[in-house]
Amino acid sequence: MANTIRSEVTSAVHSLPWLIAQDEGLFAAEGLQAESIRAPQRGTWKSKEGGGTRTITGSDLVRDHRVVDSIGVHLIFEEGSCEVYRACEWGQVRRSQDSARGGRIVGRRPAVSTQAILVRPDSPIYYPQQLRNIPVGVNFHAGSHYLTLMFLEGFLPRDEIQVVHAGRPLERYEALMSGRINAAGLMEPWIALAEKQGCKSVGEAHYVGADISAPDMDADTYTALQRAISQAVMLFNADKRRYLHYLIDEVPPELGRLTSDDFHFPRLRYIEPGPYSEAEFRRTYEWMLGWGLINEDMTYEDLVDNRISAGC
């Protein structure tokens, strides 16, 4: 069993049990030394155009998801700076396909995150059908992208759903508030911040995610990690207010200061981690195929490490 495990942390809301387990000594109790590698709040993505020499930022507002590399800020993992990271289910299926390092899905994360589509206080948009042909700012190949598509197709024909790559959550919030985009997909703490500024939620939904690990992750280590994280989930659910500082601290002070009273606690859902089943994979994979977001020849065995999942 490995002793030191490094995890990429892109957003506190997705990694909250990891952060709690680290600070409460739960990993240490399992004989593990855990480290968190923070991703930058502003991202750079490789462009699929220009022979691989060009990069894309959120300010470019790219409209075609095929131009934006799926790895994005998770290059931290691809370069070997960490052994595990978590993100939305759809994105992890895609990145498991695209990983040059050989990263594979090894389990379902505990965070059942909320993504909301928000508009400014003075927006004439009040309900989802009014987003017809209105570009929603998202992060391509991340939860905001996929959930926006899945949510809006319940209200609009697919050809009337428009999304634009507006970068990471901080960048999407700034683009929304500055008027560069008229709607944005955001999760906590950005939902709380936007609502504190008077923004309106046009709709929101919860979604699951998954862990990707390095090829040499062993079952004993991953199972020990999950035991510690399961305890962290119980701690959070028993006293949510105690741990909201992780989310509050993610917001730069110049954008405003949140308190625990600004959060709607039912949005913050965490469950015990577990294996990622073939049924879950198949449902997600077929939906992604329908949007042209994944290759046609992928299987559960290709993208999910059954050896690790079975050990949980």
| Closest among 42, 76, 40 to 59, alpha carbons compared | 42
Cβ atoms of residues 141 and 210 within 8 Å: no
What per-residue confidence (pLDDT) applies to 2? Answer: 67
Measure CA 119 to chain center: 20
**Residue 51's pLDDT band (cuts 50, 70, 90):** confident
Cβ atoms of residues 84 and 213 within 8 Å: yes
**Residue 311's pLDDT band (cuts 50, 70, 90):** low
Mean pLDDT of 285-312: 88
Mean pLDDT (the chain) is: 95
| Alpha helices, DSSP H, located in 189-277 | 190-196, 219-238, 245-248
What per-residue confidence (pLDDT) applies to 1? Answer: 64
Kindly give, in sequence order, each residue whose CB lies less than 8 Å from that of residue 40, ignoring residues fewer than 6 positions away: 73, 168
From the number of C-beta atoms within 10 Å of its C-beta (0-12, 13-18, 19+), residue 49 rates as: middle
What per-residue confidence (pLDDT) applies to 312? Answer: 52
Dump pLDDT digits (tens) for 116-152.
999 999 999 999 999 999 999 999 999 999 999 999 9
**Residue 21's pLDDT band (cuts 50, 70, 90):** very high
Q: How far apart are CA 94 and CA 146, in angstroms?
A: 11
Residue 306 reports pLDDT greater than 90: no
Domains of the chain from N-terminus onward: 4-50+71-112+208-310 (3.40.190.10), 113-207 (3.40.190.10)
Amino acid at 42: R
Could you give the percent of the chain with pLDDT greater than 70? 97
Q: How many CB atoms lie within 10 A of CB 163?
A: 22
